[in-house]
Amino acid sequence: MKINNVLFTENSISNINKIIDQHELKTEIGGSLVGYQQDEQLIITHASDPGGTAKMAFDSIEIDGEYVTRFCNRLNELSNHKLYFLGDWHTHLSNNLNPSDRDLVAMKRLSNYTPYEYRDSLITVIINHYNPVKIKVYSLYKGRRLKTISNFIVPNPSWIGEYI
């Protein structure tokens, strides 16, 4: 199903900001995103850090796949399968929040591990490392390019406290 909006809960933004704050300003940082789909919207409730074996550089990050898989599976089980993996996030060390060729390749690779019916709702989020309120969200369009999706920050749903 096509996604028109991505809503970041205050909890997910708080998770991301804490991770960025704990990190040096020399390399990109990132992680996975967990939440749920409601009609043509994704609601992001949680964000992970990149994990202990992540490889970070000035212009790239390779997230620790085993670590983020455990993070996502744990939230999926705790929420009785209400919450699940929706994509990933990472920072850019510049004001340019456009996806790089490497970002597109990573998204295509990730979509290969995503069931076909969910590929249109898979997202990647790029955040300005120095000014984290600047966020751009992209989805893979027809498996070939990244398309911008609008995003907003919303209050936490009342039930989210059970999974924080």
End-to-end CA distance of the chain: 28
Tell me, what's the pLDDT at 160? 81
pLDDT digits (tens, 9 = 90+) for 1-26: 678 999 999 999 999 999 999 987 78
Tell me, what's the pLDDT at 164? 67
Whether the per-residue pLDDT at 143 is higher than 80: the answer is no
CB 93 within 8 A of CB 134: no
For 9, list phi and psi in degrees, rounded to 5: -70, 160
pLDDT digits (tens, 9 = 90+) for 21-59: 998 778 999 999 999 999 999 999 999 999 999 999 998
Average model confidence (pLDDT) across the chain: 90
Instruction: Read off the pLDDT band of 122 (50, 70, 90).
Output: confident
Report the distance separating Cα 61 and Cα 11, nearest Å. Answer: 23
Report the distance separating Cα 37 and Cα 62, nearest Å. Answer: 26
Domains for the chain: give ranges and CATH numbers. 11-155 (3.40.140.10)
Instruction: Read off the pLDDT band of 104 (50, 70, 90).
Output: confident
Q: pTM higher than 0.85, yes or no? A: yes
Tell me, what's the pLDDT at 108? 85
